[in-house]
Amino acid sequence: MLHLRLITPADRTDDVVRLIENTVGATHLVVLPGVARNPSGDVVQCDVAREAGDELIGALRQLDLDQAGSIAVEKIDLSLSERADKAKEEAPGEGADAVLWEHLADATHEESTLSITYVAFITLATMIAACGVVLDNAILIVGAMAVGPEFGPLAGICTAVVQRAPRLALRSLIALLVGFAVAMAVTVGFSLFMDAVGLFTEARLEGDRPNTGFIYAPDWFSFVVAVLAGAAGTLSLTSAKSGALVGVAISVTTVPAAANAAVALIYDDAKQTWLSTGQLLLNLLGIVLAGTLTLLAQKWFWSTQRRQRRQT
């Protein structure tokens, strides 16, 4: 269940209340006239089943409530109420499958913003991965994958394509490109330092690497895994089961490929540099393609559900 707290201008409160009363899956309606001060107006609260939440929020925005008042949404962890149980039963579909497009847009906006923290995380992840490729240490590679924050901008690009939001697309693309560019540049400097103190050597990079050789060996399996990971990651963002995102982060070779390219660059190994870059681009393409198709499929599914409900 979701809890909505609305601030409504007094002249729109009746329309808002009527909308909530006519929404299947909404319950626990509370109206507090004249209590809001900034902005001034009435406060309306209600609970709504997650699977009915997106439609209700969209209808509230059509009333320009986000401009003239306020729409705040919170997730309810526990609700002991027969009315709430009945609301969830009446709402179409399953709550775990429901997509809250406004929440997705807001989350991807935050995750795809180029910030110092984002650049720091992707840079640290790339340096960890650099140590992993030189030492041929799979544990370090997995750790670098888990630290890397690059799925946020990738999800932002997918959301922007489906929602036709060019600003979000541009912001996400800038965060992705600048983040990787800075991370690889810093990793080049880091690798030069490690080479100078004798911790990185060309022999280690060029030697037999059974645990990390796949990083600079792009093939169809790389693309297939990226597609599957992109679909899983997108589902984890849009559904109530967001814990799967960590598993997605450690299944795609993006940050390790960037690290391998950076290390190979200081030893003038053009082959590994280009193959690692190809692995990086192949994974990014697969994730964006799968994420976009997953969102389009979810959008079609829920629009079909709504049409069928209106016809019955």
In which residue ranges of the chain is pLDDT below 50?
244
Q: Is the pTM of this model over 0.85?
A: no
Query: Minimal CA–CA distance to 201: which of 122, 142, 267?
Result: 267
Note the helical H segments in the chain.
13-21, 50-62, 65-68, 82-90, 101-111, 116-135, 138-147, 151-163, 166-196, 202-206, 220-238, 245-249, 255-266, 270-311
What is the per-residue pLDDT across 189-210, written as a single tens digit (0 to 9) for each? 999 999 999 999 999 999 989 9
How confident is the model at residue 69, as a pLDDT? Answer: 92
Residue 221: count of CB within 10 angstroms of its CB: 10
